[in-house]
Chain A
């Protein structure tokens, strides 16, 4: 079955970057540019993996993360936080809120798709 990746990211350029790298890998990519839309798209499309930004309009990434994790339909989907926040504790906070992994921006374009693949297998 084709892998479907849902990217919740409000910066269009960053979204296009990840979309390009993942489609190049043969994945199907869906996008949402706000927290609530991401939540809805996740509920209605059941993606194989979710990539989540932290700073989002309307509902921040941590809230989206908690909602995704407490939703019985979605609790099994790996969620990787891809964020520009690099202060102490951002990664720990994401992982304790239920994230499967944390990738700090800027991403490494040559490794990114493989990193995502490894979270899919884990």
Chain B
């Protein structure tokens, strides 16, 4: 047993005995005693704390200072409250009895339960939450308790985990699957050495040590518990209250000392995410690999050429074929890698562009709504321009993303039964404002039988909206109409306008990407030029098509053709 006072200016007798030949005079000793009384008075109350080994929550290095999550947090609170903490190092069982007879005041890392509540006092706000977690060798997937069936489980003898798992697997055959160890370290070692398949330890121990043994945590959590400081019953209400007050405050601030301590003990040894530079490194390695394969291939080709000269003509033929095949395989491989990189690049770019756009669109909306305060007309006009541009940028990003999905064959269709009439009516409502702003007459002419069709609703709506808003965009007076008929198990959906029309020589180019008929510098119509291309590809994927009839200065008629999955519209 040893009392180890911390943080306070206590006399160091070992050092003063080293100078004992100086023989301090009596008044010096008296002055020293007086000084110590003053110091200890200023130091406030002494709190005696019983601690034991349970890293990383409470522990001490051989001959060193106590440390751990509980110790650091208690020291932090003690410094603020002016307490003097004395740590008493012992075993868990001894600490419990010392707490009972009053030799120590406080114990860290005590799990709350109703039996302990009868003999000790707890504070309210837990210092930590803990639970039992299951660990396995890297690469083994365990998702639920059921997956544990048939596996050999390593546990600490007489531990909470042993009791818990024996309770869960209660038949004798199952209990033979338990492998007992005498320390948590041994529990993990058993799995590493293949003598058990899965290990059960408390979350904090596992978090800190599992990696050392080549093990990985699973998502299986059991037996949650709350961990507190416990005090001898009836004496230390004020200390427990003070601990609660500090914890409440510390926990609600993200970068408080509390989280720094958690980070230090639980997470810092455990960060194994990929830093950005490693992704760059991986990409450049792939690039370097490709280059070296290329160079290797060039050398090989040269060698082959020389050898081929020495060979007979028939062999030469064979070699050439082989060479071509190899080149072809190489080119295939390169194309596949490039394709993969392109898809990954597009997904990343879309993500990276959306994140700042989120701020632009979000804050512009807030300012225009005058949430933070009034704005004047000029400011409102400018903010509206920012908003419009940002939305335009967003639709560009969405279109580019759609195209990349189409080209990568990743545009998946999700079919469902949709009411045709309400889908079209909804589309008409969405573009109503746009048409009204230009003074156009927008007409919906429903066909004979409104009913359900089987279609990817979102994509089909995207096509119709694209055609309608195009029609409105390129029509300055007159009307835009939407109608449909069913013929030969196909749905024909017509979008007709009385707009500028499209000259015959330009009609075929219209469905190519980035094309608007009027591509000059004084292009007056905004748009990505991608909409029609995307729309037609979507309809192709659904087994249909989009066709165009148009006459300059009279107008255009776009017809969407959709084969009906069930042979016709299902009437309600």
A37 to B256, CA, bound (A): 11
Contact A55 B359 (CB under 8 A): no
Interface locus among B346-354, B467-475, B518-526 = B346-354
Of A41, A55, A58, the contact of B254 (CB 8 Å cutoff): A41
CB contact under 8 A between A17 and B359, given known A73-B224, A84-B350: yes
CB contact under 8 A between A106 and B361, given known A14-B355, A87-B410: yes
A85 to B271, CA, bound (A): 24
Contact B251 A45 (CB under 8 A): yes
A81 to chain B, nearest CB (A): 13
A59 to B217, CA, bound (A): 14
Contact B350 A86 (CB under 8 A): yes
Contact A109 B362 (CB under 8 A): yes
Interface string of A2-29 (1 = CB under 8 A from B): 0000000001011001001100100000
Contact A67 B219 (CB under 8 A): yes
B304 to chain A, nearest CB (A): 43
B131 at the interface (CB under 8 A from A): yes
A107 to B412, CA, bound (A): 24
A112 to B371, CA, bound (A): 14
B401 at the interface (CB under 8 A from A): yes
Q: In the complex, what residues of B have CB within 8 A of residue A30's CB?
A: 252, 254
Of A45, A73, A106, the contact of B358 (CB 8 Å cutoff): A106
Contact B394 A106 (CB under 8 A): yes
B398 at the interface (CB under 8 A from A): yes
Contact A110 B365 (CB under 8 A): yes
Q: Which of A79-122 contact B (CB under 8 A)?
A: 84-89, 105-110, 112
A33 to B123, CA, bound (A): 30
Q: In the complex, what residues of A have CB within 8 A of residue B219's CB?
A: 66-67, 70
Contact B259 A86 (CB under 8 A): no
Of B221, B262, B273, B410, the contact of A40 (CB 8 Å cutoff): B262
Of A41, A70, A84, the contact of B351 (CB 8 Å cutoff): A84
B266 to chain A, nearest CB (A): 9
Query: Which single residue of chain B is at the shortest CB-CB distance from A67?
Result: B219
Q: Which of B374-433 contact A (CB under 8 A)?
A: 390, 394, 398, 401, 405, 410-412
Q: In the complex, what residues of B have CB within 8 A of residue A13's CB?
A: 356, 359
Contact B224 A109 (CB under 8 A): no
CB contact under 8 A between A106 and B362, given known A41-B254, A86-B398: yes
Q: In the complex, what residues of B have CB within 8 A of residue A32's CB?
A: 254
CB contact under 8 A between A44 and B347, given known A17-B363, A84-B355, A106-B394: no
A32 to B360, CA, bound (A): 22
Contact B129 A87 (CB under 8 A): no
A111 to chain B, nearest CB (A): 10
A76 at the interface (CB under 8 A from B): no
Q: In the complex, what residues of B have CB within 8 A of residue A59's CB?
A: 273
Please name 6 pairs of A and B residues whose Cβ atoms are closer than 8 Å in the assembled complex, sorted by A: A11-B359, A84-B355, A106-B390, A107-B361, A109-B369, A112-B362
4 new A-B contacts, CB < 8 A, other than A105-B354, A106-B354, A112-B362, are A37-B259, A43-B129, A70-B220, A87-B401
